[in-house]
């Protein structure tokens, strides 16, 4: 039952556009009304009607340790007692910057912001300021937040709603954004060849996670790096999803490919509103007050968010077997789900890397935006409703990721597999 959720949604629609503050939460792509969440702990999330679910959304990724982790909660509680916001420099900002530059290869300086969208917007501005060039290359199906110049052939909610871009984005804003095909190096080369000396940067999700999870094919990231070097353009890794999830050093460490700039989101705030961008010292020094590229924010480096993020990153850095154990149980989970769905005859493809994955309802290999878009969204709607009714909370969209956390127990992973088994019958 979801009586109170239904009541809240009716109230919300009267004062919030669509009744939600982020489009995919509306459940429109699965023909339902949203559940309103009251609290969460570990790998469980509880809605306002008291329904409890095993959570595989994990606040869209950052809850790698699980909800309400004791160390994070204690750090936030302590920070709150000192004040919520100062709009001034704090020691915690320095500690966070030192920690990130220590953990991530290639990041020599970092600037805190308030969201992944703001991080991407700022990193691209820095790339343009550093190179003196205007155009950027992104990849079809990759989502980099809702800044105007990024809403071109984007993924995430734009895929589920069938929106090709966004009203309100001017032609002038979009004209300098060029789109290549994910896993298609030839398309990258063509764009460089047709825009000589005018491309400032290439931005890419090193693992695409906003058209569902799509892995980079062997040599793809390395090839993009080579094209950037050849054409004196910068390479930006959007690690809002992959940062500190694949490994302590993120995708750069995992794949052994060095980016010039990286962007981060929620995970460095322990799930609180936060973002960051960082990279080579010479690039970051173009940012005000050192250089001519202006970027500012009253809440950047918020002390409470920094306290939460420091607690998370220190655990990720200092817990020896955390990533091997998390990736092992995730590999086992997705492998067993593969066996179950194959035996049931349900058409599907499972893409996963470490604790990040997606189940696509299609016979096709899913390697780019086009192949992801061939998935059976009606089948996904049936699957989503079945999972929710059986206590499993996944993203209400075929084109979002599934996250496994440290707190997901063997018993809950097994229970989830039993529910998938029931769906296949």
Q: Are 421 and 346 in contact (CB under 8 A)?
A: no
Q: Are 212 and 375 in contact (CB under 8 A)?
A: yes
Query: How far is it, in rounded angstroms, from Cα 181 to Cα 183?
Result: 6
Cα 173 from chain centre: 24
Give me 312's structure tokens.
């998370």
Q: Catalytic: 143?
A: yes
Query: How far is it, in rounded angstroms, from Cα 75 to Cα 312?
Result: 10
Q: Are 190 and 184 in contact (CB under 8 A)?
A: no
Query: How far is it, in rounded angstroms, from Cα 195 to Cα 190?
Result: 9
Q: Are 67 and 40 in contact (CB under 8 A)?
A: yes
Of 375, 336, 421, 414, residue with least CA distance to 155? 375
Location of structure tokens 């090193």: 206
Catalytic residue (one of 47, 55, 176, 238): 238
**How does DSSP classify residue 378?**
H
Query: How far is it, in rounded angstroms, from Cα 383 to Cα 121?
Result: 36
**How does DSSP classify residue 21?**
S
Cis peptide before 239 (omega within 30 of 0): no
Q: Catalytic: 266?
A: yes
Catalytic residue (one of 27, 53, 56, 143): 143
Catalytic residue (one of 266, 383, 393, 412): 266
Helix (H) / strand (E) containing 236: strand 234-238
Known catalytic residues are 143, 238, 266
């Amino acid at each position: 039952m979801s009586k109170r959720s239904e009541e809240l949604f009716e109230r919300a629609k009267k004062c919030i556009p669509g009744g939600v503050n982020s489009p995919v939460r509306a459940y429109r792509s699965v023909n339902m009304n949203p559940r309103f969440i009251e609290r969460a702990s570990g790998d469980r999330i509880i809605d306002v009607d008291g329904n409890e679910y095993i959570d595989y959304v994990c606040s869209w990724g950052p809850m790698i340790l699980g909800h309400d982790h004791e160390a994070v909660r204690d750090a936030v509680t302590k920070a709150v007692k000192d004040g919520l916001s100062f709009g001034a420099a704090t020691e915690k900002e320095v500690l966070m910057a030192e920690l990130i530059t220590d953990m991530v290869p290639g990041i020599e300086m970092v600037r805190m912001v308030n969201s992944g969208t703001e991080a991407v917007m700022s990193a691209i501005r820095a790339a343009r300021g550093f190179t003196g060039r205007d155009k950027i290359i992104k990849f079809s199906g990759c989502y980099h937040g809702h800044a105007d110049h990024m809403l071109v052939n984007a993924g995430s909610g734009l895929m589920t709603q069938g929106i090709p871009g966004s009203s309100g984005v001017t032609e002038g804003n979009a004209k300098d954004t060029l789109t290549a095909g994910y896993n298609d190096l030839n398309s990258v080369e063509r764009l460089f060849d047709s825009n000589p000396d005018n491309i400032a940067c290439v931005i890419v999700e090193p693992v695409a996670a906003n058209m569902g999870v799509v892995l980079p094919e062997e040599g793809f990231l390395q090839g993009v790096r080579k094209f950037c070097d050849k054409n004196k353009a910068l390479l930006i890794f959007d690690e809002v999803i992959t940062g500190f999830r694949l490994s302590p050093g993120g995708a750069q460490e995992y794949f052994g490919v060095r980016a010039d700039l990286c962007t981060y989101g929620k995970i460095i705030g322990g799930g609180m509103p936060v973002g960051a961008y960082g990279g080579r010292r010479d690039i970051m020094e173009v940012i005000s007050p050192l250089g001519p590229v202006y970027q500012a924010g009253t809440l950047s480096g918020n002390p409470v968010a920094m306290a939460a993020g420091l607690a998370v990153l220190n655990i990720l850095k200092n817990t020896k077997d955390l990533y091997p154990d998390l990736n092992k149980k995730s590999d086992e989970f997705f492998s067993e789900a593969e066996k179950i769905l194959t035996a049931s005859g349900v058409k599907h493809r499972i893409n996963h890397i470490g604790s990040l994955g997606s189940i696509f309802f299609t016979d096709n290999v899913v390697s780019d935006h086009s192949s992801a878009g061939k998935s059976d969204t009606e089948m996904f709607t049936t699957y989503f409703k079945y999972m929710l009714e059986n206590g499993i909370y996944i993203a209400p969209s075929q084109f979002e990721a599934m996250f496994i956390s440290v707190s997901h127990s063997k018993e809950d992973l097994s229970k989830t597999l039993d529910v998938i088994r029931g769906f296949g019958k």
